[in-house]
């Protein structure tokens, strides 16, 4: 159905209305209403429209002022033309506006002379001073509503980019309107229809009086294009982290917290990773210059970890190496500290913990690798825990995350034994997708830290699986702050 405005406009066009102003005169509608109705009719292929872009410029307060007093860069140029100008003699506007623009235009140079900083005019400055400052002339012509040349219009465009001088306004004007064959058909259809008053809004009075029963309510076309609305939206990675957090809490877990800067002791040694392991090299890990060393709070704990290394890896363990500060390479460093606190009776067992945080790896950034990303860790500290319990916990977690089909595959990780990888069936791509690794902390990890065994543990990276599920081909997109991408990303997609 046509809107009332469309009906009036299409009737006016059938009566040979010549343009927007003529349609306004015939229909008694405002210009905005007529233009809106014409665009609606264009969507229905009822009219042909031609548009012309018009540009207008308006002097703002600062622009009007400079037209009278002279642009600060021009004033400074004139002063420099009369001899060297001392910095101390510059006004606030000459210093903040005139000096940068005069320097950019190549008009001046700054020299040191007699212990003072002086501004000297250049040859280009002398030449331009003789010609007159074209942007200033263009502004003054605009103030007098005089005609502008193409070159002067280009100068106004440049001045508009400076802000507070000139504002530029562009708008499309409808210059030509013609009724199409479809428009003529709709007009004839409207002329032959019985005259009935159409109601746009169902009001309280219509309902109370009962007159709505005989009224004709206008139908709405939900397929018509509308202006895009960009509501506030949470970043996909934040949504994933929030969902994971709520699932762990539902399952009775407590969240762990830890610093991004860790000692090598917690990041590597406590997890039974030897001090000559390749992952500790500068090529894989970010080491910090400040602080140069970090404390190991429990000397007895350090001795126990050192003995486990010397017995298991057959080398002399160094406390100095263990005190080196690093940006954590995994959130498992936080898990190790919580296991140790359980051993020191700061925390009771059995207990279930999880953490979500950023980790750092010294590797090249490309479409599928980042030097900074998110990791999720989970542990169950319980001497009665079993491998079967680990599998059941993981299966329930991923089920709550939205994956019904899950499989486990044997794998190797340096500080868990036995170890496994978790794959989930991703229905849109009809393929298995690796989402994380898990296992039981080795006795060489559990016994020095806790004094008991076992501890169930698992880890999950966030960015890469989310990238796959969102159909992205570059993991760096998450961190580009691309407003267009954020606006176009659906509020919910898979477990995002």
Q: What CATH number is attached to the domain comprising 128?
A: 1.10.10
Check residue 243 and give its pLDDT.
92
| Residue 159 pLDDT exceeds 90 | no
Any domain includes 494: no
Same domain, 313 and 458: yes
**459: confidence class by pLDDT, cuts 50, 70, 90:** very high
* Distance from C-alpha of 468 to C-alpha of 457, rounded to nearest angstrom: 25
Terminal alpha carbon distance of the chain = 40
- Residues 208-257 pLDDT 10s: 988 878 777 777 777 766 777 888 888 889 999 999 999 999 999 999 99
The neighbouring-strand residues paired with 168 are 57
Same domain, 286 and 347: yes
Can you tell me which residue has the tokens 């995994």?
330
Question: If you count DSSP H runs as helices and E runs as strands, how many of each does the chain have, helices first?
Answer: 21, 16
Same domain, 91 and 183: no
| Residue 496 pLDDT exceeds 80 | no
Cis check: omega of the bond before 21, within 30 degrees of 0: no
Round the average pLDDT of the chain to a whole number and report it.
88
| Residue 1 pLDDT exceeds 70 | no
Any domain includes 201: yes
What percent of the chain has pLDDT above 90?
A: 34
- Residues 40-63 pLDDT 10s: 888 888 888 888 888 888 888 888
Number of residues in the chain: 496
Q: Which residue has the higher pLDDT, 484 or 312?
A: 312
Helical H segments across 377-488, by residue range: 387-400, 443-449, 463-469, 483-488
* Distance from C-alpha of 286 to C-alpha of 324, rounded to nearest angstrom: 11
Q: What is the CATH number of the domain that holds 403?
A: 3.30.930.10
Same domain, 161 and 258: no
- Residues 90-124 pLDDT 10s: 888 888 888 888 998 999 898 888 778 888 999 99
How confident is the model over 163-190, as a mean pLDDT? 84
Q: What is the CATH number of the domain that holds 35?
A: 1.10.10.10
Same domain, 356 and 298: yes
Check residue 282 and give its pLDDT.
76
Same domain, 389 and 417: yes
Can you tell me which residue has the tokens 């690093």?
326
Q: Are 52 and 173 in contact (CB under 8 A)?
A: yes
* Distance from C-alpha of 21 to C-alpha of 11, rounded to nearest angstrom: 15
Tally of structural domains, the chain: 3
What domain range includes position 106?
59-169
Using DSSP's 3-state secondary structure scheme, residue 188 falls into: helix
| Residue 495 pLDDT exceeds 60 | no
* Distance from C-alpha of 68 to C-alpha of 205, rounded to nearest angstrom: 60
Q: Of the given ranges (17-26, 226-235, 243-252, 385-394), which has the lowest mean pLDDT?
A: 226-235
* Distance from C-alpha of 35 to C-alpha of 40, rounded to nearest angstrom: 9
Same domain, 273 and 148: no
Any domain includes 230: no
Q: Are 63 and 167 in contact (CB under 8 A)?
A: no
Same domain, 48 and 110: no
Same domain, 190 and 210: yes
| Residue 296 pLDDT exceeds 60 | yes
Can you tell me which residue has the tokens 């080398």?
315
* Distance from C-alpha of 305 to C-alpha of 7, rounded to nearest angstrom: 85
Q: Give me the helix-helix angle, 134-143 and 150-160, nearest 10°.
A: 90
Nearest 5 degrees, angle CA 199-CA 203-CA 205?
110
Any domain includes 224: no
Same domain, 186 and 204: yes
- Residues 367-380 pLDDT 10s: 778 899 999 999 99
**439: confidence class by pLDDT, cuts 50, 70, 90:** very high
Same domain, 133 and 194: no
How confident is the model over 321-337, as a mean pLDDT? 95
Check residue 267 and give its pLDDT.
95
Check residue 195 and give its pLDDT.
62
Same domain, 370 and 463: yes
Any domain includes 82: yes
Any domain includes 231: no
């Amino acid at each position: 159905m046509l809107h009332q405005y469309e009906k009036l406009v299409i009737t006016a066009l059938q009566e040979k209305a010549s343009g927007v102003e003529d349609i306004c005169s015939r229909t008694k509608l405002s210009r905005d209403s007529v233009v809106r109705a014409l665009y609606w009719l264009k969507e229905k292929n009822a009219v042909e429209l031609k548009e012309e872009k018009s540009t207008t410029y308006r002097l703002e307060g600062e622009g009007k002022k400079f037209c009278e007093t002279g642009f600060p860069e021009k004033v400074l140029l004139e002063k420099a033309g009369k001899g060297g100008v001392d910095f101390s003699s510059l006004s606030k506007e000459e210093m903040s506006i005139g000096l940068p623009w005069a320097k950019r235009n190549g008009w001046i140079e700054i020299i040191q002379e007699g212990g003072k900083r002086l501004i000297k005019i250049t040859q280009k400055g002398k030449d331009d001073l003789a010609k007159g400052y074209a942007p200033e002339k263009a502004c003054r012509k605009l103030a007098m509503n005089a005609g502008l040349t193409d070159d002067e219009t280009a100068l106004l465009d440049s001045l508009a980019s400076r802000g507070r001088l000139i504002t530029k306004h562009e708008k499309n004007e409808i210059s030509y309107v013609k009724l199409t064959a479809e428009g003529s058909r709709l007009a004839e259809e409207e002329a032959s229809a019985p005259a009935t008053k159409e109601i746009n809004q169902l009001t309280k009075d219509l309902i109370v009086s009962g007159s709505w029963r005989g009224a004709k309510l206008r139908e709405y076309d939900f397929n018509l294009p509308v202006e895009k609305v960009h509501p506030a939206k949470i970043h996909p990675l934040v949504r994933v982290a929030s969902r994971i957090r709520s699932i762990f809490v539902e399952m009775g877990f407590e969240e762990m917290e830890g610093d991004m800067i860790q000692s090598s002791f917690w990041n590597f040694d406590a997890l039974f990773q030897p001090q000559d392991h390749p992952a500790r090299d500068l090529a894989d890990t970010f080491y910090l210059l400040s602080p140069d060393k970090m404390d190991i709070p429990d000397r007895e704990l350090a001795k126990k970890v050192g003995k486990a290394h010397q017995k298991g890896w057959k080398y002399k363990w160094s406390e100095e190496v263990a005190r080196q500060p690093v940006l954590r390479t995994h959130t498992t460093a936080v898990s190790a500290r919580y296991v140790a606190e359980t051993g020191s009776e700061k925390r009771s067992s059995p207990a279930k913990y999880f953490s979500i945080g950023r980790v750092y790896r010294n590797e090249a950034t490309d479409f599928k690798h980042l030097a900074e990303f998110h990791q999720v860790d989970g542990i169950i500290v319980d001497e009665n825990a079993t491998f079967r319990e680990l599998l059941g916990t993981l299966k329930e977690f991923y089920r709550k995350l939205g994956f019904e089909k899950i499989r486990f595959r044997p794998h190797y990780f340096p500080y868990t034994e036995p170890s496994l990888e978790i794959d989930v069936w991703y229905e849109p791509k009809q393929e298995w997708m690796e989402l994380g690794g898990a296992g039981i902390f080795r006795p060489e990890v559990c016994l020095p830290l806790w004094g008991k065994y076992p501890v169930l543990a698992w880890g999950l990276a966030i960015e890469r699986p989310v990238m796959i599920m969102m159909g992205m081909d570059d993991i760096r997109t998450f961190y580009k702050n691309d407003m267009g991408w954020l606006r176009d990303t659906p509020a919910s997609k898979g477990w995002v």
